[in-house]
Structure 1
Amino acid sequence: MKKLVLLKSLCIILVLALNSITAQNSADTNLIQFLESKEDTNDIFYGSSVINFNNPLALTAADLSNVQSGEKVVYSNAVLFQDRYYDIVLTILSINGAFTIDCNNELRVNTFDSSKDNYVTYSFDLVETGSAIPSNPLGEPAVLYDVILESRDIDTRSFRDFTEVSGVNPYTVTSKVKVNLSGTTNLENAGFANGPDPSGFTLYRLNPGLVGANTDWVDEPHDGETHGDNPDFSVYMEFDQFSHVDLLYGATGTEAHTWVRLTNFGMSAKSSFNKKSVAKMDKENYTIGYNTNKN
């Protein structure tokens, strides 16, 4: 009788042990599947930070609320990279259209006439903190290595036939640049719909074929309330050296008034690149540009 009881006890212990192992394996499998699902998300870069345009100072601009072609503005502590702050000098290069540029809190346009392919070209110069002042508007140049500049929130307004256009001139960069889009991007490598594109710029816009007719942007999605955090509305510019770049911001479509539009930028290290998303993005690499006019 004692042997029978002992045998039953051993069987119960064995069954409990097997159930415990099975539950642990199931938990481990669920954990692995969860981590793999997180890797498959569309978070292109980890550790990205928004470029801060909240501290402007007019260098050569007479009025921050109406900055003109050729004028410069510096944004203090705009970039935080590897625990160090840098300033950005913004220079308005050209204005194509009858609109006002407000640089008090980023580059803000009061309205574009998208039917006339309005746009502004401008440059970013990275400088040491506090070095650019009205008496020395160029400042002391700074260089960051292996960084991603993110042009974010390229979209439209609900039920409006226009898209924002974001561009980079690869021949003006410090060394070279490679442009990426997310693997599930809502953007396309295309420019202005109503006329020729400005020379030298590689342009990106909202894809008009996402929803409804593929000839307009009336039904296309927009970034909504994510405030630039959705990578499917972003262009990622990968620099081996970043100090200077010429950029473009505009709109195309049929709307005579887009109302207020503004730029949105972020920055991250190439080391924070999501490697799994890079594989998805390879087919979306459109251009590698070299500055052939470097001193």
Structure 2
Amino acid sequence: MTIYAEYLLLENAIINFIILYVTKRFTRTDTNKIRLIISSLIGGIYTFVVFYPSLMFMAKFIMKFIVSILMIIVAFNPYTLKKFLKLISTFYVVTFVFAGAALALFYLSDIQIFVGKGIFYIRDFPIKKLIFAVGISWILIKGTLGFIQSKIGKEKLFIPIEINLNNRNVKLNALVDTGNSLKDPISDRPVIIVEFKAIQDLLPIKVQDIFLKYKENNLDVVSTVMSKSNREISFRLIPFKSIGKDNGMLLGFKPDKVILRDEDNKILSEIIVGIYNNSLSPNHEYMALLHPEILK
């Protein structure tokens, strides 16, 4: 089979970009397309070793692994070992699943491919079939990772958070709640639902007294707090629906920032905290519910 350098570079760069993009999505890592493109090109250029017999030592496993490390660093710039290991392991899982799906599809379609010496080459590059292979791989990877995550245990869904307001802060444990789709109707910002007791010290004394007087979330609390609110903190109304309550109302406020104390220490500024004047967890494992969107 005749191998053309420009097609070899293009095909491997495209495949690398797809794998890196899927890795980005599954690890929820912030990066930009320029970094992904540069990293993809690095992987594509690496395949040129097939044209130079003197460079065939580059096709050994250790060199392939070093190149994959370089690609991860260029694409995502991981600043902790834990983050790097998460990225590199996901990168290889995605690579293996994608390669298996693509090879099976191309084999069944009787398309000529060449795999060897560290390169992947498809004759008469079938872009439609590649897209189909990507779709199958996405479903397989999502199903596999979803199954693994469901077996990990609930404790992995807990994230320590820190809420800051007016130079005061509180620390608490939060649960990632996939059922929490609550957003502020005015700003469309995601809402973190937090127990009043957990953030009591952040609130003005007059507001604390009102929440202590009314144990349930009702219109008496809403109307009284809104009338007592001042410039120190600006409250807003957040309508919600729950089992047995179609027209509920939470009081919320915009904190100065919320810090997710995980491996990334992600800082959130465009967020709303909704105050829940009751207990969220019967065994007090957590005192807040995180909107899943903020983890993306």
Bigger helix fraction? 2
Bigger strand fraction? 1
Q: TM-score range by the shorter chain?
A: under 0.3
Question: TM-score normalized by structure 2?
Answer: 0.21
Higher relative contact order (CA 8 A, sep 6+): 1
